[in-house]
Amino acid sequence: MVDETLEHPAMLPAVEHLDPEQRSAAGKAARTAVPRSSHGEWAPAPDRPDPIDLLLQQDESRLPELVPIRHGRMSESAFTFFRGGALLMASDLAPHPRTSLEAQLCGDAHLSNFGIYAAPDRHLVFSVNDFDETLPGPFEWDLKRLVASLAVAGRSREFSDKERKSVVLAASRAYRLAMHEFAEMNTLDLWYLRLDVEDLLRRFVTSATKEQRKNLDRILTKARGKTSLKAVAKLTHEVDGELRFLSDPPLVATIEDVLPPDRAAEMIESVHEMFRSYRSTLPTDRQSLLERYRYVDLARKVVGVGSVGQRAFILLLVGRDNDDPLMMQFKEAQQSVLEPYLGTSEYERHGQRVVAGQRMMQSATDILLGWFHGTGIDGVDRDFYARQLWDQKGSAVIEWMVPSGMASYGELCGWTLARSHARSGDAIAISRYLGRSDTFDRAMAAFAESYADQNERDYATFMAAIADGRIEASEG
């Protein structure tokens, strides 16, 4: 059964409006409570939880047959381990002082969770593109996740200490300067602001080398080719005139591979109900658009690194005929890794939390982004969000980056993260807190290296746990 009720508050609370001087004073006062230099002073808490225990606790809510794949992907390098360790970092940040300057957080703002995708007007834009962990919280938590990822990635590329510091300083400086820029903008101008690929090329790639421009062209070409038609060509074949998903278990498994025939039929019927529930969360015009498509097939798909083991399905729909496909993804939304430390989400359903956070942080969002809540054939209530599977998405390839390229990319991510935070947070207060000097930037550089050290220790512990059989890992 599916809960089709949309919860809306009967009355929104009143909003307090402070003038620019008051907002600026709040930012300056935050320096007294949490000095900017203090962000560089990081060390593990004396009672720090065992990182393996935390990861195993996460595994309990995931599909057990897929958990070893998650561990296998995390074991590839210290950087892939970092990608899967958002919970570990949230736990590490929680005991330490934090500012009162809040914004909508991505919750997992590492450099691989930024990228390009097609806006509704079909222009390619660059933004944060993963929101499974989104929640309001102190702005610096996202920035610390970003700069730490740059330090970890820099180590994986064997950059020198000086080169890694330069990369992190560039990202933090870009965030700080962008926030100053946004603090001076009119509210609607800030809300509409987005970074098109054309702007990206003008703003951030003017000093790129010939090889870097070539790599960027390859990324853009690949992204423009990632459409529903391309997904159909790669993931399906034709059976008796109907498209059907190709089976490649465990990474892509048709519903018939996962369940016996009677339960597979129940699952498909349940998906129809869930789809109707999801459709009801969309604006009326999008509902009408989706009504033009009919359901064709369903498969389970393994996605990402940290998300492996969560329930994720791909749906194939067709409009006019087989040459008019729409590929959708239904992805389970569990509790944000930030909630144990920052408080429970205001949304009862985690799918709604993810969708609301994405719409807040992105200036251009998938027109079919929605959410639903349903009871699966296992009798367990679960939250999901829905989006198009491939919509001209692309991301940077860390393995191609040289120090100057990673510094440019860090600047791009820093600017983008600041824009996302300015949409929901107080740009004036945050700007005043950050200040005009490089005090905060230097603190971020110190923090990034300290946390990269911790990540390496945790990765070694993780690999030892695989070796002694405490954790099972498999390729995938």
pLDDT for res 397: 86
pLDDT at 432: 98
CA separation for the pair 96, 48 (Å, rounded): 12
- Higher per-residue confidence, 433 vs 10: 433
The residue among 320, 193, 312 whose CA lies nearest residue 255 is 312
Task: Find residue 104's DSSP bridge partners.
Answer: 136
For the ranges 48-57, 130-139, 179-188, 246-255, which has the lowest average pLDDT?
Answer: 246-255
Is-above-0.75 flag for pTM?
yes
pLDDT of residue 203: 65
pLDDT band of 210, cuts 50, 70, 90: confident
Listed residue (78, 135, 72) closest to 109, CA to CA: 135
* pLDDT value, residue 38: 97
- pLDDT value at position 228? 84
Average pLDDT over residues 403-429: 95
Backbone φ, ψ for residue 428 (5° rounding): -65, -45
Q: What is the mean pLDDT of residues 144-152?
A: 98
Residue 197: the pLDDT is: 86
CB 278 within 8 A of CB 317: no
pLDDT at residue 65 above 50? yes
Enumerate residues 6+ apart whose C-beta is below 8 A from 35. Answer: none
**For residue 374, what are the β-bridge partners?**
2, 382
Query: Which residues, listed in sequence order, are joined to residue 242 by a DSSP beta bridge?
Result: 239
At residue 393 the predicted structure's pLDDT band, cuts being 50, 70 and 90, is confident
What pLDDT sits at residue 304? 87
Sequence-distant (≥ 6) Cβ neighbours of residue 272 within 8 angstroms: 295
Look over the chain and give the mean of its residue pLDDT values, rounded to a whole number.
Answer: 92
DSSP of 111-139: GGGEEEEE-TTS-EEEEE---TT-EEEEH
Q: Which residue has the tokens 């367990």?
A: 380
Q: Return d(Cα 342, Cα 340) in angstroms, integer.
A: 6
> What pLDDT was estimated at residue 435?
97
Using DSSP's 3-state secondary structure scheme, residue 206 falls into coil
Q: pLDDT category, 199, cuts 50, 70, 90?
A: confident
- pLDDT tens, position by position, 309-334: 999 999 999 999 999 999 999 999 99
Confidence of residue 224 (pLDDT cuts 50, 70, 90): confident
Tokens of 66: 């897929």
- Residue 288 CB neighbour total at 10 angstroms: 11
pLDDT band at 159 (very low <50, low <70, confident <90, very high): very high
Summarize the confidence of residues 164-181 as an average pLDDT: 98
- pLDDT level of residue 57 (50, 70, 90 thresholds): very high
| 192-206, 367-381, 392-406, 457-471: least confidently modelled range | 192-206
pLDDT tens digits, 330-382: 999 999 999 999 999 999 999 999 999 999 999 899 999 999 998 765 668 89
pLDDT grade, residue 1 (50/70/90)? very low
Beta strand ranges found along 293-369 (DSSP E): 294-301, 312-318, 325-332
Question: What's the pLDDT at 380?
Answer: 81
**What beta strand segments (E) does 180-219 contain?**
195-196
Q: Going by C-beta distance under 8 Å and a sequence separation of 6 or more, which residues neighbour residue 173?
A: 411, 414, 438, 441
- The pLDDT value recorded for residue 4 is 46
Per-residue model confidence (pLDDT) at position 206? 61
Q: Which residues face 237 on adjacent strands?
A: 244
pLDDT at 178: 98
Q: Output the pLDDT for position 5.
A: 45
